[in-house]
Amino acid sequence: EIQDAGGTVHGYRCNLTKEDQIRQLVERINSEVGQVDILVSNAAIAGGGSVPDLTSAPGTP
């Protein structure tokens, strides 16, 4: 539907527990896509809290 409406869709895989993979993915996306208007992270991570309060440390809110 997005493509039919004239939009562009890209899919990428990344292990979000590996900070080096996240950095590499960000560099790749910046190189291939440029500005990102919408990002959907479909990752299963247990825990909770407000997004601004989240850290990269496992098990912390």
- What's the average pLDDT block by block, 10 residues per block, for the chain (61 residues)? 89 89 92 87 71 68 49
Find out whether 43 and 18 touch, Cβ atoms under 8 Å. Answer: no
Q: Give the percent of the chain with pLDDT over 70.
A: 82
Among 46, 44, 42, 43, CA closest to 58: 46
Q: Cα separation of 2 and 7, whole Å?
A: 5
Note the pLDDT of residue 28: 94
Note the pLDDT of residue 4: 92
Find out whether 24 and 12 touch, Cβ atoms under 8 Å. Answer: no
The domain limits of the chain are: 1-36
